[in-house]
Amino acid sequence: MAEVGAPSWQRRNDLDNFGRISMSYALLDAARVAKAAKTSLDVLKAANETSEAHQRKTIMVERIAALAQAASESPKNDGVTLTSEEFWLISLNW
């Protein structure tokens, strides 16, 4: 297992069930992800936006925040794994 902390991107070069190349992903500190996701969520909720894309982003960040919060409160606290896309959604608040 990779050390928890700064993103250490892993690239899987194998194909998924649909013939696509798999995404990059990283094991990150769960508390830090939870904090960044909460900040991102506050920014998204403060925006005067009602588009479907905005709603989807908000839902995805809510899910990331909940997962990271639960992981940070677990006894082992091994971190949380995010895809590069999920990390990108919260990275401005990292």
Write out pLDDT tens, residues 39-72: 999 999 999 999 999 999 999 999 999 999 999 9
Structural domain contains residue 4: no
**Which residues constitute the domain of residue 43?**
21-93
Least Cα distance to 68 among 93, 43, 45 occurs for 93
Residue 2 has pLDDT above 50, yes or no: no
Q: Decide if 23 contacts 85 (C-beta within 8 A).
A: yes
Q: Which residues contact 14 (CB under 8 A, 6 or more apart)?
A: 21, 22
Q: Is 15 inside a domain boundary?
A: no
Domain contains 50:
yes
Sole residue written with tokens 């006894």: 75
Number of structural domains (the chain) is: 1
CB of 7 closer than 8 Å to CB of 26: yes
**Average pLDDT value for the chain:** 82
Q: Residue 30: its pLDDT value, please?
A: 94
Identify the DSSP state of 8: -
